[in-house]
Structure 1
């Protein structure tokens, strides 16, 4: 056997369980971001005498979330990712550029857009939307099991990957 010439261990993906736990924790943190963003945007509309329409408010919150994720992902981790020892890097293990982070953000909407696109044409009640959304998220997450590096499809499309930083922290 030939000794490995690499100076660092290979970048391995965190377990699906950890990634999904991080995803749930991130959603709890995002509740606060969306809440504060909604209050600020709503108050600005009232102050200027022209409240935002629900669609405009949704568009503005989409931008606020994009800024949140682009900022933190270009630094390597969101708060939830730090907690769960997960980092996002490009396919070569380098930090993300803001452009790549924004691309990942746009592609990450593949988690939610298909089930949400069924709401308007079929006038689905909220319970059915929840079942569709959770079902799609489960399928989407399980598909990562078929990727050779266990990455999510939106990460593959964005040229990014999630890596496990817990191993690095144990060695330090």
Structure 2
């Protein structure tokens, strides 16, 4: 079921590479804090001892799942992670709707694939006219740049 966004914005254009990169830096810092939280919980569960290989695998799996839940929640809720909000970006379907959890999962997993060949999947947006990365194409989503909100002027007395 497609869900539209609350506001209808007419001046939407594809996001620039620079804005997308800066948004990833912001979200990367948040991810690091999430991973630290998972590591702290894992260490507490292990009572501060050396974590076994099985425990390490469980902790890495938990960090991976928490990372997906972070992105999936924000992408499906309002199309924006915290970094995307700061840079006025939004992920949406090709027809301007909110993405589904399935699309979020495809986007998340395929973004890992986009990083593997030295980030070529991300750089691909610089080549095409549509400005889509590999994971945009595979998940049938796009990242758009939202216009600045106009501030309402106070009535002067």
Q: In the alignment, is the contact (CA less than 8 A) between 1:12 and 1:149 conserved in 2?
A: no
Comparing both structures, which one devotes a greater share of its residues to helix? 1
Relative to the length of structure 2, the TM-score reads: 0.78
User: 2:10 is paired with a residue of what secondary structure?
Assistant: coil
Q: In the alignment, is the contact (CA less than 8 A) between 2:121 and 2:135 conserved in 1?
A: no
Q: Distance in 2 between matches of 1:31 and 1:97?
A: 25
- Structure 2: stretches of 5+ with no match in the other structure: 1-7, 153-157
User: 2:42 is paired with a residue of what secondary structure?
Assistant: helix
Counterpart check, 1:149 vs 2:130 = yes
After superposing on structure 2, the runs of 4+ consecutive aligned residues of structure 1 that deviate more than 6 Å are none
Partner of residue 76, structure 2: 74
Relative to the length of structure 1, the TM-score reads: 0.72
Q: Deviations over 1:28-77 (max 9, x none)?
A: 12111111122123322439xx8653222211211111111111111211
Q: In the alignment, is the contact (CA less than 8 A) between 2:39 and 2:59 conserved in 1?
A: yes
Partner of residue 86, structure 1: 89
Cα-Cα RMSD: 2.4
Q: Deviations over 1:69-121 (max 9, x none)?
A: 11111121111110011011111110111221122111111133x36xxxxxx
In the alignment of these two chains, the number of paired residues is 141
